[in-house]
């Protein structure tokens, strides 16, 4: 069985707020047969909601490492990732008059205790009523840690991969530098494209499973609904990113890739169950890139399928082969938009991003 290693590494400080030291956990798994010049590296970028720290995820990463002779790399908590979790502490506000109309007098007196609504008692009673309950998740985001859905999250994942590469080198291990793959689903696939844009010569292959062009929650609230008997509970996630300077020339992949080159072989899979207008936008984007293969298929979105789908890709597609011993190239990057100038410096092996505001 493959061997997994868990370490905490220094992470890039927030580019949005006060510079503070950050740490993040990463996990990488090496094949049982060892690392050799045919062994590749796989940066895993799971969809929203998949647990990156569970024993099941660890087991699946190890299985992938053995089956495909690859070192799997997983950033277990990138910048603001915790705010993508399901509900943790929603806040509900009640209209007492509406509550009195909904409940019997006996039920109201049961749930309204010491001048406030007892949530546990209310959920117990309300589950027998056909009613919709809406509340806001208490996110407690700050400029130093929030769900930016873009640059900081990509930097953390690039860092996780480059730290793993340096550890392999430090241990005298030779691997296949032409087989460095980023594979993501949903938001993870979006981040794979963003990683490729910030380090355009690092990845040989990008596998995109249902990635979006723009994270929808940059401008819209996220809603999670669940039922308890007859009661429907909807929790609203109102992210901080909606209230800061959003640079759409970086966040929008179509605009971003007009500014950066693509050297990776990209394989893009998109669900044929979504509206045709959305798939056409994604198809046009893929066709605008060098070496991007577009596909439409029907697939599920669940934790186990994320790992199984990689097996499907590796068994059914022939990925381009390059020089196994080629030097990994990490040239410094400059990306300029109307709002900001972004300088990504790799001179110390790990990315350092400096963002300066352009004069109006």
Does the structure show a pLDDT above 90 at 8? yes
What per-residue confidence (pLDDT) applies to 320? Answer: 63
- Mean pLDDT, residues 216-239: 92
- Mean pLDDT, residues 303-326: 77
For the chain, the domains span: 3-86+145-214+252-357, 91-137+218-245
- Other CB atoms within 10 Å distance of the CB of residue 33: 12
What per-residue confidence (pLDDT) applies to 317? Answer: 74
Q: Looking at per-residue confidence, does 54 or 251 come out higher?
A: 251
What per-residue confidence (pLDDT) applies to 275? Answer: 80
Query: 266 near 206, Cβ under 8 Å?
Result: yes
Kindly report, residue by residue over 151-184, the tens digit of the pLDDT.
999 999 999 999 999 999 999 999 999 999 999 9
| CB burial of residue 302 (10 Å; 0-12, 13-18, 19+) | exposed
Which is nearest to 15 in space by CA: 343, 299, 348, 360? Answer: 343
3-class secondary structure, 334: strand
What does each C-alpha distance from 88 to 136, 139, 250, 328 come to in angstroms?
11, 9, 30, 41
Which is nearest to 17 in space by CA: 150, 156, 146? Answer: 146
pLDDT tier at 7 (50, 70, 90 boundaries)? very high
Considering the four listed CATH numbers 3.30.70.580, 3.40.50.1820, 3.40.640.10, 3.90.1570.10, the one that applies to the domain covering 3-86+145-214+252-357 is 3.40.50.1820
Element (H, E) at 294: strand 292-297
Which phi-psi region, left, alpha or beta, contains residue 168 (left: φ > 0; alpha: ψ -120 to 50)?
alpha
Joined together, the tokens standing for residue 325 give 């011993």
Which phi-psi region, left, alpha or beta, contains residue 80 (left: φ > 0; alpha: ψ -120 to 50)?
left
| Average pLDDT in the chain | 91
Distance CA 299, CA 96 (A): 45
Query: 250 near 335, Cβ under 8 Å?
Result: yes
The residues, any chain, with a CB within 8 Å of residue 309's CB and separated by 6 or more, are: 185, 209, 269, 299
Query: 267 near 206, Cβ under 8 Å?
Result: yes
- Mean pLDDT, residues 135-142: 94
pLDDT tier at 214 (50, 70, 90 boundaries)? very high
Does the structure show a pLDDT above 90 at 238? yes
Residue with tokens 């995820």: 57
pLDDT tier at 114 (50, 70, 90 boundaries)? confident
Query: 185 near 46, Cβ under 8 Å?
Result: yes
**Ramachandran angles phi, psi of 217, nearest 5°:** -85, 5
Does the structure show a pLDDT above 80 at 77? yes
Which is nearest to 52 in space by CA: 313, 307, 308, 350? Answer: 307
Distance CA 292, CA 127 (A): 49
pLDDT tier at 191 (50, 70, 90 boundaries)? very high
- Mean pLDDT, residues 246-253: 95
The residues, any chain, with a CB within 8 Å of residue 59's CB and separated by 6 or more, are: none
- Judge if pTM exceeds 0.75: yes
Does the structure show a pLDDT above 80 at 303? no
- Mean pLDDT, residues 353-358: 93
Residues above pLDDT 90, as percent of the chain: 66
Does the structure show a pLDDT above 60 at 232? yes
What per-residue confidence (pLDDT) applies to 224? Answer: 92
Joined together, the tokens standing for residue 347 give 């001179």
Does the structure show a pLDDT above 90 at 126? no
């Amino acid at each position: 069985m493959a061997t997994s290693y868990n370490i905490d590494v220094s992470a890039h400080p927030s580019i949005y707020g006060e510079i503070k030291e950050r740490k993040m956990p990463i996990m990488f798994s090496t094949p049982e047969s060892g690392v050799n010049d045919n062994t590749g590296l796989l940066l895993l970028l799971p969809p929203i909601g998949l647990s990156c720290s569970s024993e099941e995820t660890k087991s699946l990463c190890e299985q992938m490492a053995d089956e495909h002779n690859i070192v799997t790399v997983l950033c277990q908590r990138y910048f603001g990732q915790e705010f993508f979790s399901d509900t943790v502490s929603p806040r509900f506000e009640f209209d007492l008059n509406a509550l009195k109309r909904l409940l019997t007098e006996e039920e109201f007196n049961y749930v309204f205790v010491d001048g406030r609504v007892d949530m546990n008692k209310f959920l117990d009673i309300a589950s027998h009523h056909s009613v919709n309950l809406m509340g806001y998740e208490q996110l407690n985001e700050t400029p130093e840690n929030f769900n930016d859905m873009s640059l900081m999250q990509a930097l953390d994942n690039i860092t996780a991969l480059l730290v793993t590469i340096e550890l392999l080198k430090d241990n005298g291990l030779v691997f296949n530098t032409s087989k460095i793959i980023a594979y993501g689903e949903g938001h993870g696939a979006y981040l794979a494209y963003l990683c490729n844009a910030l380090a355009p010569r690092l990845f040989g292959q990008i596998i995109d499973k249902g990635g979006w062009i723009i994270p929808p929650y940059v401008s819209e609230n996220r809603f999670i609904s669940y039922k308890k008997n007859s009661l429907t509970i909807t929790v609203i996630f109102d992210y901080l990113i909606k209230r800061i300077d959003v640079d759409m020339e970086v966040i929008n992949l179509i605009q971003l890739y007009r500014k950066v080159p693509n050297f990776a072989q990209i394989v893009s899979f998109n669900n044929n169950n979504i509206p045709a207008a959305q798939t056409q936008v994604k198809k046009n984007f893929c066709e605008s890139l060098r070496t991007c293969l577009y596909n439409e298929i029907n697939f599920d979105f669940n934790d186990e399928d994320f790992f199984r789908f990689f097996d499907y890709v590796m068994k059914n597609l022939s990925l381009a082969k390059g020089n196994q011993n080629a030097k990994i190239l990490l040239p410094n990057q400059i990306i300029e938009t109307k709002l900001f100038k972004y300088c990504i410096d790799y001179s110390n092996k790990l990315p350092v991003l400096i963002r300066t505001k352009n004069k109006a």
